[in-house]
Structure 1
Amino acid sequence: MASNSLKLFYYDAKGRAELIRLVLAAGGREYENVILTQDDWQTEKYKTPFGQLPVMEIGGKKYAQSIALANYCAAECGLYGKTNLDRLNIDQVVCLGSDLVSLATQAFHEKDETRKAEKMKNFAEVEAPRFFNMYEKLLKESSTGYFCGDSLTLADLFIYDQVFTESKWKTFKTEGFPLLNALRKLVESNEKIKAYLATRKPTEF
């Protein structure tokens, strides 16, 4: 990765910043993990590109949008494939997974508590398994255990973070998805990821 200094700004949570942290951990890239309180954010949000987090400062300039930041870090860390076709394969996994994130967000932010319970139940019992079956299909087609090629990429880290990073709202059941569970073991067997997970602070989200 280039020698630009990195600062990652986010709350004391995993959330939308965790994928970026996983990518940087896998790439062995040092960075400053800046934790913001709600009070901090009231001041800092006016200094960000779009008034949202996460934000990454690269060489003194701030950039936003979590997937764009993860893509950049993955490319710089050698985790974004070797060819344009590789990157297409990685991007399709990330975009597919992002569709599931959108469904989760819609359910989680439902204001009516009865409807929220129904939507969360449908998400956990119908939508998530539907997407997990698509992940299984892609992993089967790959035949290496990884989504793209024969080594760890952004695609693997995205799905790992989405499915297996602990969060208060997640109720995923992965029994019956052997390739997805095998991917978890592959990611967690990576020495740099293993070291990161061993020191990661528990958070609700």
Structure 2
Amino acid sequence: MPTYTLHYFPLRARGELIRLLFAAAGKTYTDKIITFADWPSKKSEMPTGQLPVLEVDGEKISQSLAISRYLSREFGLAGDSSLDQARTDQVVDTIGDLLTEFFKYAFEKDTEKKEELKKKTFDSVLTTFATNITKFLDMNKDKSGYFVGKKLTAADLAVYEGFEDFVLVDPKALDKYPKLVAHRKLVLSNPKVKAYVDKRPKTDV
């Protein structure tokens, strides 16, 4: 088996789907945390000067979604067919867009603007993405509760983590979307995922 090292900040953010994939697959890796103080001296060592970066037997792979797709395929969490993989990707990519919107609010420094962004994020942004993600769930002909087929894929892990930020700020954020609430419980019914989520460090994002 390859040797894996994940380089990322002490955050969930763009690195957490990667960690969840390792957890769900029960695979070993080194989670190398780079502090914000150390980042300027480490930045030049990364292919694009960004994180996360995954080292696979010493080779550095950048871009969070590229890393997630690679691991999903390696660990059998991408879907059983090419079409299933596309179904998985469409969900993961949509959650990537959701995170981009959430981070505009989360990382805003100006107090007044942050409050405006919070209202937008928890109103129109949440409504749009929760509605669209629920449509993807309904599109699964297997009606298994998962997004693709009858088992856990990267799509499920991405959706769980994508809405985690909302639920941490407002525990009732998904109350209007019972299918997503049920889906979160389904994801946590996986013992490996639950064990990881229960012990992971608490961060704002």
Aligned position for 1:154: 154
Give the conservation status (yes or no) of the 8 Å contact 1:54–1:65: yes
Separation of aligned partners in 2, 1:113 and 1:166: 19
For residues 190 and 20 of structure 1, do their structure 2 counterparts lie closer, same or farther at Cα, with a shift above 3 Å needed?
same
Are residue 88 (structure 1) and residue 86 (structure 2) matched?
yes
Q: Which moved more, 1:104-113 or 1:83-92?
A: 104-113
Are residue 12 (structure 1) and residue 10 (structure 2) matched?
yes
Separation of aligned partners in 2, 1:55 and 1:130: 30
Aligned position for 2:139: 141
SS of 1:38 mapped into structure 2? coil
What is the TM-score when the length of structure 2 is the normalising length?
A: 0.90
Aligned position for 1:185: 185
Superposition pairs of residues 5-154 of structure 1, within 5 angstroms: 5-110=3-108, 112-142=110-140, 143-154=143-154
Separation of aligned partners in 1, 2:166 and 2:19: 15
Unaligned stretches of 5+ in structure 1? none
Deviation at 1:120, TM superposition (A): 1.8
Count of residue pairs the alignment pairs up? 202
SS of 1:176 mapped into structure 2? coil
Deviation at 1:89, TM superposition (A): 0.6
Amino acid at match of 1:56: L
Give the conservation status (yes or no) of the 8 Å contact 2:84–2:148: yes
For residues 11 and 60 of structure 1, do their structure 2 counterparts lie closer, same or farther at Cα, with a shift above 3 Å needed?
same
Give the conservation status (yes or no) of the 8 Å contact 2:14–2:52: yes
What is the TM-score when the length of structure 1 is the normalising length?
A: 0.90
**Cα RMSD after superposing both structures:** 1.9
SS of 1:44 mapped into structure 2? helix
Unaligned stretches of 5+ in structure 2? none
Separation of aligned partners in 2, 1:86 and 1:57: 27
Separation of aligned partners in 2, 1:24 and 1:192: 10
